[in-house]
Chain A
Amino acid sequence: MNRLLKSRELWLAVGIVAVVGLVTLRFPRFSQPGNLLTIFNDTSILMMLALGQMAVILTRSIDLSMASNLALTGMIVAMINAAMPGVPIPLLIAGAVLAGAALGAFNGILVWKLDIPPIVVTLGTLTIFRGLVFVISGGAWVNAAQMSQEFIQLQRGSFLGLPILSWFAIVVAGLVYLLMTRTPQGRAFYAIGVNPTAAVYTGIDVGRTKFLAFVLAGAISGLCGYLWISRYVIASVEVAGGYELTIIAACVIGGVSIAGGIGTVAGALLGALFLGVVNNALPVIGVSPFWQMAISGTAILVAVVLNGRSEKSKGRIILKKAEAGA
């Protein structure tokens, strides 16, 4: 099983290299280190979000509200920054993480205490959070002129040759990796995804574990809320509209099983990176950006077909025989 998991990430990496290689054949400048770093930087936000979504999906849940959470926390920090430019940016980032975590906790409480299916809860909060963006902003935008320079420039700084935004992704990925592989909490995410009943008998609180997964996804959404707004320097109601499905797509392409219990940090990162590479390659090879959606749709379908083949449990022999006889 372990080798199978390894090979899945390996194949995804091969796929990404193949795409980069094919584009490079025509346009040699595509695979220059500078451009590859740009792609990595462009994909940083998606990679972080995919990690949060993975934690939720591992527990047999789903969080459709991440993009709305991002838009709401982004609007909150942008408005605070516009009203009070003196508030230090690190404090603002901490606030964004807390606000995002609180929104995630709202999802989590409903799933934990009321036992409402996660898809219903987050379908509701998806529209509620985005509606709240409109309510707090009155439908107005916060644009670059209203934001302070530090707010915009922080993630554009560079450290050891990499933009700060990339470092955010690297640090978050490192922390989630440690959480998933080195802590009992990380094992609990996997355990309740593989077999919730067995997890209960080993002393894991299933509801609480799901709650924590939602809080993690929310906190990451909040962090990305600040990063998204300061990167694209506009806060509006439409920020990241429909992005929740791109996040899930990155997970699915990365081999995270929607049935829970299967998925790795490397897989989710590579899934996001694959989408990033494809989106970056399209304009280079002269394909209209309108192809993006159909291509990511096809990538999801191919990924789920490939994953499904390796995950498929053996069917019941008696039914197979009956079908063969009929």
Chain B
Amino acid sequence: MTDTTATGRQLPDRLDNPVKSAVLSWESLLVLVALAIFIANSFASPYFLNEWSLSDMTFNFTEKALIALAMALVIITGEIDLSVASIIALASTMMGLALQYGADTPTLVAVGVGVGILCGAFNGALITGLKLPSIVVTIGTMSLFRGIAYIVLGDQSFRGYPASFSWFGQGYVFWVISFELVLFLLAAVIFYVVLHHTNFGRRVFAIGNNATAARFSGVRVDRIKFILFCLTGLMSGLAAVLLTARLGSTRPSIAQGFELEVVTMVVLGGVSILGGSGSILGVVLAALIMGLVTFGLGLLNIPGIVMSIFIGALLIVVIALPILFRMWRQRRA
């Protein structure tokens, strides 16, 4: 899945105007798209512009977006993790199992997050230790993790989570601001600082642009990739806590198909699937857009499966438009 056309790079004789490049950036395009959808939603449904409606809207994306933050880093290094939804299923199942043995709320959260980290470490060890392609490994662990959930649960489900646990998925910190939203915003700020303002973040980009060159300049490529897979596992574990608390029950089919939505979010956010570029701001905006689209269509009574057409088309169109625009400009020049 690599580029084959080796085109020479043209060296500019001056730097781009920062204002101009900010206006023309991917993020500003996303802001425009988000605004357009927001306005369209307000006209389409009288129930949309209401603080509780908007608060409900955030539940559409917070869990997936938490994972998307970590997934963005993984994809920037040129890898991918398709097992995230299955990690949610396994972590949720283990929390349910712990509940059967009388675990209290702090233990439940620890189990969920712990299982997430372990699953991520398992992925990371196979990928960096044995030098295997991440896409195949995580397709395998995707079956394995959810498979274990099926072995434990079969066609049964765990329910009866304590009220103090449900707060993580259903509670509000302040007015209409849910705990999930606060956690997501906090995580987004942390990921923003880590990716864009630390050495670690620079190394993540370095690996994605040229892993060999990064190794020669002293970046511990394997260690960083391992950490990133653990991080994705951790975020999936957190998402499992939130989702389980919100739904109040665990089935082995929980979070089915999340992995593709998370990857869609990341790619829509302007992270190159080939690695090497992307921003956290873009991912956050893409999460917001996907939340707005699904919620707006939901208010119009459009079934979920039809919404997925919009999401799929959005993914392709948003990627294709800049390419078409570039081709059109080249043809004119």
The reply to whether A124 and B6 contact each other, CB–CB distance below 8 Å, is no
Give bound CA distance, A100 to B264, whole Å.
Answer: 24
Cβ < 8 Å to B, chain A residues 118-139: 118-121, 123-128, 130-132, 134-135, 139
The reply to whether B316 and A121 contact each other, CB–CB distance below 8 Å, is yes
> With A135-B309, A200-B4, A293-B143 in contact, is A305–B130 under 8 Å at CB?
yes
Stretch from A17-25, A178-186, A294-302 forming part of the interface with B = A294-302
The reply to whether B305 and A124 contact each other, CB–CB distance below 8 Å, is no
Partner of A308, one of B132, B143, B307: B132
> With A127-B260, A248-B139 in contact, is A293–B150 under 8 Å at CB?
yes
> With A131-B305, A197-B4 in contact, is A300–B136 under 8 Å at CB?
yes
Cβ of B315 under 8 Å from chain A: yes
> With A130-B305, A294-B148, A305-B130 in contact, is A197–B6 under 8 Å at CB?
yes
The reply to whether A245 and B147 contact each other, CB–CB distance below 8 Å, is no
The reply to whether A114 and B146 contact each other, CB–CB distance below 8 Å, is no
Question: Contact string, B267-281, partner A, CB cutoff 8 A, digits 1/0?
Answer: 100000110000000
Give bound CA distance, A267 to B239, whole Å.
Answer: 38
Give bound CA distance, A288 to B311, whole Å.
Answer: 36
The reply to whether B313 and A124 contact each other, CB–CB distance below 8 Å, is yes
The reply to whether B1 and A290 contact each other, CB–CB distance below 8 Å, is no
Partner of B273, one of A120, A128, A294: A120
- Using CB atoms, name the residue of chain B closest to A206: B4
- Using CB atoms, name the residue of chain A closest to B252: A290
The reply to whether B144 and A297 contact each other, CB–CB distance below 8 Å, is yes
A161 → B minimal CB distance (Å)? 35
Partner of A294, one of B126, B135, B143, B256: B143
Cβ of A53 under 8 Å from chain B: no
> With A119-B273, A131-B305, A196-B4 in contact, is A291–B151 under 8 Å at CB?
yes
Give bound CA distance, A292 to B133, whole Å.
Answer: 24
Cβ of B173 under 8 Å from chain A: no
Question: In the assembled complex, which residues on chain B have CB atoms less than 8 Å from the CB atom of A319?
Answer: 215-216
- Using CB atoms, name the residue of chain B closest to A68: B312
The reply to whether B274 and A117 contact each other, CB–CB distance below 8 Å, is yes
The reply to whether A135 and B306 contact each other, CB–CB distance below 8 Å, is yes
Partner of B144, one of A116, A130, A298: A298
Question: In the assembled complex, which residues on chain B have CB atoms less than 8 Å from the CB atom of A169?
Answer: none
- Using CB atoms, name the residue of chain B closest to A252: B136
Give bound CA distance, A319 to B309, whole Å.
Answer: 47
The reply to whether A304 and B315 contact each other, CB–CB distance below 8 Å, is no
Partner of B267, one of A62, A120, A192, A312: A120
Stretch from B61-69, B180-188, B228-236, B319-327 forming part of the interface with A = B319-327
The reply to whether B215 and A123 contact each other, CB–CB distance below 8 Å, is no
- Using CB atoms, name the residue of chain B closest to A295: B147
The reply to whether B136 and A124 contact each other, CB–CB distance below 8 Å, is no
Cβ of B263 under 8 Å from chain A: yes
Question: In the assembled complex, which residues on chain A have CB atoms less than 8 Å from the CB atom of B9?
Answer: none
Cβ of B142 under 8 Å from chain A: yes
> With A127-B308, A297-B141 in contact, is A118–B1 under 8 Å at CB?
yes
The reply to whether B303 and A134 contact each other, CB–CB distance below 8 Å, is yes
Chain B contact-residue range equals 35 or more
Question: In the assembled complex, which residues on chain B have CB atoms less than 8 Å from the CB atom of A199?
Answer: 4
Cβ of A233 under 8 Å from chain B: no
Cβ of B154 under 8 Å from chain A: yes
Main secondary structure, interface of B, reads helix
The reply to whether B315 and A120 contact each other, CB–CB distance below 8 Å, is yes
Give bound CA distance, A200 to B132, whole Å.
Answer: 28
Give bound CA distance, A255 to B46, whole Å.
Answer: 56
Cβ of A115 under 8 Å from chain B: yes
B153 → A minimal CB distance (Å)? 8
Question: In the assembled complex, which residues on chain A have CB atoms less than 8 Å from the CB atom of B3?
Answer: 115
Cβ of B226 under 8 Å from chain A: no
**Most chain A CB within a 10 A radius of its CB, from B273, B305, B324:** B305
The reply to whether B323 and A115 contact each other, CB–CB distance below 8 Å, is yes
Question: In the assembled complex, which residues on chain A have CB atoms less than 8 Å from the CB atom of B154?
Answer: 288, 290
Give bound CA distance, A110 to B151, whole Å.
Answer: 40
A11 → B minimal CB distance (Å)? 18
Cβ < 8 Å to B, chain A residues 91-119: 110, 114-119
Give bound CA distance, A258 to B141, whole Å.
Answer: 16
The reply to whether B139 and A132 contact each other, CB–CB distance below 8 Å, is no
Cβ of A75 under 8 Å from chain B: no
B65 → A minimal CB distance (Å)? 17
Cβ < 8 Å to B, chain A residues 215-270: 237, 242, 245, 248-249, 252, 258-259
The reply to whether A120 and B133 contact each other, CB–CB distance below 8 Å, is no
Cβ of A41 under 8 Å from chain B: no
> With A125-B316, A131-B312, A237-B305 in contact, is A61–B1 under 8 Å at CB?
yes
Give bound CA distance, A64 to B141, whole Å.
Answer: 17
The reply to whether B312 and A134 contact each other, CB–CB distance below 8 Å, is no
Cβ of B118 under 8 Å from chain A: no
- Using CB atoms, name the residue of chain A closest to B153: A290
The reply to whether A134 and B143 contact each other, CB–CB distance below 8 Å, is no
Cβ of B197 under 8 Å from chain A: no
Question: In the assembled complex, which residues on chain B have CB atoms less than 8 Å from the CB atom of A125?
Answer: 312, 316
Besides A60-B1, A304-B136, 10 new A-B residue pairs in contact (Cβ under 8 A), listed by A number: A121-B316, A124-B312, A125-B312, A128-B309, A130-B305, A131-B312, A134-B303, A249-B140, A290-B154, A301-B141
7 residue pairs of the A-B complex, CB under 8 angstroms, read A120-B316, A135-B309, A245-B139, A297-B140, A304-B136, A304-B137, A312-B131
Q: Sort A-B residue pairs by CB-CB distance and give the 10 closest, nearest first.
A: A294-B147, A297-B143, A297-B144, A131-B309, A293-B147, A300-B140, A127-B312, A196-B4, A128-B312, A124-B316
Which A residues form the contact surface with B (CB < 8 A)?
A: 60-62, 64, 110, 114-121, 123-128, 130-132, 134-135, 139, 192, 196-197, 199-200, 206, 237, 242, 245, 248-249, 252, 258-259, 288, 290-298, 300-301, 304-305, 308, 312, 316, 319
